[in-house]
Amino acid sequence: MFTCPLRIGFISTGWMELLKHLKKKLVLLFITALFLFLVFTVKTPSTYKSNPKPSGSPSACSMRISEQTITPLNNTKHLLVSAYMDQRVKDFDIRIIGIFRRDSIQPLHCFFCCAGYLSETTPATILQHPDNFGFPFVTTDVMCQIPQNCSATHVTLLTTPDKQSPSNHPWLPIRNKDTVGQKEENMQFDFTICISNLFGDYNNVLQFAQTLEMYKLLGVNRVVIYNTSCGAGLDRLLQSYSDEGFVEMVPWPIDKHLNPSRGWLHSEHGGDLHYFGQLTTLNECIYRSMERSRYVLLNDIDEIIMPYQHEDLMSLMNMLRNQHPNAGVFLIENHIFPKKHFEPSGRFHLPQWNGVPGINILEHIYREDPARNIYHPYKMIVRPRMVEMTSVHEVIKNFGERYKVPLDVCRIVHVRVALLGSLTLEQLNVDKRLWDFQEKLIPNVDKVLKRVGMLNLTQN
């Protein structure tokens, strides 16, 4: 008789325990749901403080990136060469190096690709270089300011301030973005030589091989050459040096865009542009070298900047920097060794070099004294970060001091046609500085000529 009440009490107690357990589960589930809701729907204030990206879709910078060294600018008569980050001049971030027609300068506007997005345009400042020598085209710097919040990767120029389709314009990659804060002593190279132009059928193989090997002995790490054309033998030699990484060949097809002059003065030589664009390539080379080379030598292909009291260029520059720590431009006087006068003993008229086209600089030891009553040119060793704009024989704008290096410390060895042709042998100076390096220079020249198949192996 007492069985039923006991069973009912047991059932009631079980249901109550079950309800309590379910209640706990529901509370836990509600708390979890509330937490997830808050996480996925509520944004912190810091999210809204981040800098917004420039307007545009991620595909907005699908563009025509120029892979050429000379690029025509749409709707103008101008040519673009390269773009570099340059924040040394107040209110500007970018320097575009170009070649502009002087009688067609017009307002331009800088247009940036900002890491996948298009910027608003900013007004450009156009700076013509002062040396044009009467030619219709001139080396030109276009200065731009990058818009706020734009991480610029590429730049182009527009003739109107309105944004246009990016695919219709050639875009230049922005270089030297890592220059800021980089120390000189941590750069890839100590010395870079800028050879401004090769054109025509220039084929002075022997002198060029001797010059490059001499520069190796002096501590040069890289030679940059802007090449329009040259003779077959020199082209083979340059390719060999390029393969080993010593020479950087920059294609320079200026003759495909303009009628470049072979001379320096328009009234005498005609053409569109001074000396195949020499001023443009010299400036471009300085900026090309700005984040990778401590020093840049600006000289011609047949010139050697030769220290006379030191065995290499670094020893020379260490001394000059200690004496003139604020100097960024070191002017080296040019001295001509006339190629018509030969050293009489013939000791360096080497049979293995017979048949190699070009001048043997070791055979020419007679040096002219410069005529100081007329303009006498210098060439330069520069610290590239302290140069803004250069001409051939002097820097136009720089950020430090300039120093003329004394002749007994350093001068240029320049074997070429006599400048003062009336001078007799007795009126010239004997200068055998090159001979100090002959024990290493001759076998090194032999090695490179053999490598390109131009060494005369039939001779003893």
Nearest residue to 154 via CA among 245, 85, 213, 202: 85
User: What pLDDT digit, counting tens, does each position of 267-316 carry?
Assistant: 999 999 999 999 999 999 999 999 999 999 999 999 999 999 999 999 99
If one counts every other C-beta atom within 10 angstroms of the C-beta of residue 164, the result is 15
**pTM of the full structure:** 0.85
Q: pLDDT value at position 421?
A: 86
Number of C-alpha atoms within 13 angstroms, CB side, residue 105?
A: 17
Q: Which range has the worst mean pLDDT, 225-234, 353-362, 371-380?
A: 371-380
pLDDT tens digits, 55-78: 444 445 667 899 999 999 999 999
Phi–psi pair at 363, nearest 5 degrees: -85, -5
Q: How far apart are CA 273 and CA 429, in angstroms?
A: 37
Domains and CATH numbers, the chain: 71-175 (2.60.40), 184-452 (3.90.550)
List, in sequence order, every residue forming a beta bridge with 227; answer none if it has no partner.
Answer: 198, 251
Q: Is 17 exposed, middle or buried (0-12, 13-18, 19+ CB in 10 A)?
A: exposed
